[in-house]
Structure 1
Amino acid sequence: MDLLSAAYGANSDDDDPAPSWPATALPSVAPPPAKRPRWESPPYPGYPPPPPLPAPRPAPPQAPPPPLAGRRYVSKRERALLAASQPPVGSAAPLPPPVAPEFDSPVVGSLTDSNIRDDILHSLRCQPKPGSTNGSPWKLSVSLTSHTRAVNSVDWSPSHGHLLASAGMDHTVRVWNVWNSENTTARVFKYHTAAVKDVKWSHHRPFLLSGGLDCSSRLVDAEVGKEITVFKEDQPVEVIKFIPSNSNLFLSGGTKGSLRLWDIRTGLTTKEFNRNLGTILDVEFGADGKQFICSTDTTRSNVSENTIIVWDILREVPLSNQVYTEAFTCPCVRYHPYEASFVAQSNGNYIAIFSARPPYKLDRYRRFEGHGVWGFPIKCSFSLSGRELASGSSDGCIYFYDYKSSRFLRKIEAFKEACTYVSYHPVLPNVIASCGWTGEISVFE
């Protein structure tokens, strides 16, 4: 230990001092690097003077940032879109504003009668008396083919007799200027988001009411091409009908069996007729508007109840629900224009006749037979005089019957597939419109 202490102990005063390293020798620990010389005046010898720095550009004025509490996070994508929309630095002309997307206008043609045939225009202006007849339709007058899928309903305008409305499975409602020599398509409305099942004109104004599977009925001003009111429901709408005595009220029926009376002035329901029915297939008002009949697609075991129901509209109660006791549903019901009777299109491939007075008995001695239904929603229609009854058919033809005798008169071929809807003109007694599964509309005269 003494030897180690002597060898590694601290040097005494008698020891030789530590040798000094020459100035050129490297020390054991590298000193910190020398600082970069600053350009001062006068400069260090051997260094050239620095180049003059460019004058800084003044920063453009910027809006103060929003307060911290009102800021929101801006994603990287939003920042990139914002930067792309800004004009480049130094650009004299700013970028043009973005162009808004264009939508198809429903006003595609004319509603006026300036370009229709002279004989049609003369007949429309010289309206015949109710009950008169000038013959029956038998030849094709106009074929309208703009619908891309099946057409469910057609309706003539009572105030503008040259206009016809149609509702299609292609989600559109179309207005046709039927005898226009230039363009028969006047309006195309695409407000529904699903198939349109029914369409009706208002009695005195160029308003169109349509109901569809998007659970809504929509009122449109056909003249200006603008939607007025949307009546939302909790069921797909199958059928709609204006009250004859008051065009401000209409009835709608849907797939859940609910019947609702709407006021177009308020957009609200005023009455509701509900008996846990099946799908409402058709509704029809009497001439006085105090009662209506409806047909339903009942799925209960006792199909003799609720197939056809007669309702009192004021008391909201059924007057009879055992009108039709056959085991068939009826896709169409129609009142006779002058007599106290109504008819019902039966899926038994015939049209039945009923009394319009209590107890609403079925006429078991008369029926209209010869056409086919076979599950299609085949509709029928009375002529202006009430002497004839026309019906569509599953074979694509229109069948005509004499109402008094229920005798078959004739048939004309309208389409290659089922003809589902026929509608007599409200003014011209020898004009009838039809539509069907082909998406085509045929007008006969």
Structure 2
Amino acid sequence: MKVKEDDTLLLKHCISGHGKPVSFVAWSPDDTMLLTCGNKEVLKLWDVDTGICKLTFGSPADCVISSCAWFPDSKKIVCGSSEPHNRIWTCDFEGNELEVWEGERIPKVSDLAVTPEGNHLIICSSREIWVRDFPRGKEWVISEEHSITSLSVSSDGQFLIVNLNSQEIHLWSILGNCKVADRFTGHKQGKYVIRSCFGGSNSLFIASGSEDSQVYIWHRHQGKPIQVLSGHSMTVNSVSWNPTKPHMLASASDDRTVRIWVGSRNPCQSPFP
């Protein structure tokens, strides 16, 4: 879909090529390419303008890719897999592996991200968040008490949020200078992977899906929801805030719909009055 200046939507392409359900998509920072992958599926790179698959990475027999992320220059990606063994690697768009991390100390990757300036790689395993500082060659670990299902990074690259199956979202400083996470509660999550995101004016808000078919919104400095959006009829798995239109939010649900929420353009108001 393409979003016009007046916030109307235009269908651009219907892309197909996977043999099994697609469970993960990632837009390139320059908005020209799209990565898609699924459980026991290949990773595909799509040209947004033409809708054509430019490259297929590997085969389902090689490994199970759990997640992938773009570097800010849109010229390379990082992927994580857990089968047949734990492995993290970066590659270019000719399929060449550039860096590889594997072995006993590499965690089983549930999600990963690269900060917008490209200085930090963040990896989530079952109950740990690994942060690797590329310029300094250092890494550290943030521990959680409950299983982590998803990860999102703020647009300024300073904070991250993780969804936990304890029905909490935790916010941490990526620089490792906070000992206790800020906590956000109110949504429902116990069985499924639920994704959240930063967004709104200056990324001051957090949105999350929920197993009760709602979309929950918090202010970053308030632990309780400031808004609950109703419209879906089944679990809302994922949400994504428009990076260039802070008044626009998308949500995807098990009810087989994607809903676009359009709120106030006034940054001083609650995002969806």
| TM-score, with length taken from structure 1 | 0.53
2:42 pairs, out of 208, 216, 219, with 216
Q: What is the distance in 2 between the residues matched to 1:284 and 1:360? A: 20
Report the equivalent of 1:50: none
Q: What is the distance in 2 between the residues matched to 1:400 and 1:391? A: 7
Work out which of the two has the higher radius of gyration on C-alpha atoms and give 1 or 2.
Answer: 1
Report the equivalent of 2:198: 382
- In the TM superposition, residue 382 of structure 1 has moved relative to its aligned partner by 0.9
1:431 pairs, out of 215, 224, 248, with 248
- Tell me the secondary structure at the aligned position of residue 310 of structure 1: strand
Name the CA shift for 1:191/1:313 in 2 (closer, same or farther; >3 Å).
farther
* 1:119 and 2:1 matched: no
* 1:203 and 2:32 matched: no
Structure number with the higher strand fraction is 2
Q: What is the distance in 1 between the residues matched to 2:51 and 2:173? A: 42
Report the equivalent of 1:55: none
2:19/2:41 contact within 8 Å kept = no
* 1:312 and 2:133 matched: yes
* 1:252 and 2:73 matched: no
- In the TM superposition, residue 280 of structure 1 has moved relative to its aligned partner by 2.1
Q: What is the distance in 2 between the residues matched to 1:376 and 1:308? A: 19
Q: Structure 1, residues 122-154: CA drift from partner, whole Å, max 9, x if none?
A: xxxxxxxxxxxxxxxxxxxxxxxxxxxxxxxxx
Q: Structure 1, residues 179-230: CA drift from partner, whole Å, max 9, x if none?
A: 23xxx3x322222222222112223353222122344211122322322111
Report the equivalent of 1:419: 236
Report the equivalent of 2:109: 280
Structure number with the higher helix fraction is 1
- Tell me the secondary structure at the aligned position of residue 193 of structure 2: coil
Q: Which amino acid aligns with 2:18?
A: H
- In the TM superposition, residue 313 of structure 1 has moved relative to its aligned partner by 4.1
- Tell me the secondary structure at the aligned position of residue 187 of structure 1: coil
The aligned runs of 1:164-183 (5 Å cut-off) are 179-180=9-10
Residues matched between the structures, number: 256
2:218/2:225 contact within 8 Å kept = yes
Name the CA shift for 1:287/1:354 in 2 (closer, same or farther; >3 Å).
same
Report the equivalent of 1:106: none
- CA RMSD between the two structures: 2.4
* 1:232 and 2:58 matched: yes
Q: What is the distance in 1 between the residues matched to 2:180 and 2:224? A: 18
Q: Structure 1, residues 26-69: CA drift from partner, whole Å, max 9, x if none?
A: xxxxxxxxxxxxxxxxxxxxxxxxxxxxxxxxxxxxxxxxxxxx
Which structure ranks higher in relative contact order (CA pairs < 8 Å, sequence separation ≥ 6)? Answer: 1
Q: What is the distance in 2 between the residues matched to 1:205 and 1:441? A: 20
Q: Which amino acid aligns with 2:37?
A: G
1:414/1:434 contact within 8 Å kept = no
Q: What is the distance in 2 between the residues matched to 1:334 and 1:207? A: 20
Report the equivalent of 2:269: none
- In the TM superposition, residue 439 of structure 1 has moved relative to its aligned partner by 1.8
| TM-score, with length taken from structure 2 | 0.84
**Aligned sequence identity (%):** 19
Q: Structure 1, residues 288-326: CA drift from partner, whole Å, max 9, x if none?
A: 2121211123xxxxx5xxx211123468x76113x1241
Q: What is the distance in 2 between the residues matched to 1:278 and 1:359? A: 23
Report the equivalent of 2:185: 369
Q: What is the distance in 1 between the residues matched to 2:139 and 2:49? A: 40
Report the equivalent of 1:392: 209
- Tell me the secondary structure at the aligned position of residue 333 of structure 1: strand
Report the equivalent of 2:171: 353
Structure 2 unaligned spans of 5+? 263-273
- Tell me the secondary structure at the aligned position of residue 143 of structure 2: coil
Report the equivalent of 2:19: 193
2:18/2:41 contact within 8 Å kept = no
Q: What is the distance in 2 between the residues matched to 1:325 and 1:221? A: 38
1:271 pairs, out of 99, 103, 111, with 99
Q: What is the distance in 2 between the residues matched to 1:408 and 1:214? A: 36
Q: What is the distance in 2 between the residues matched to 1:293 and 1:258? A: 14
Report the equivalent of 1:294: 123
- Tell me the secondary structure at the aligned position of residue 362 of structure 1: coil
1:192/1:214 contact within 8 Å kept = no
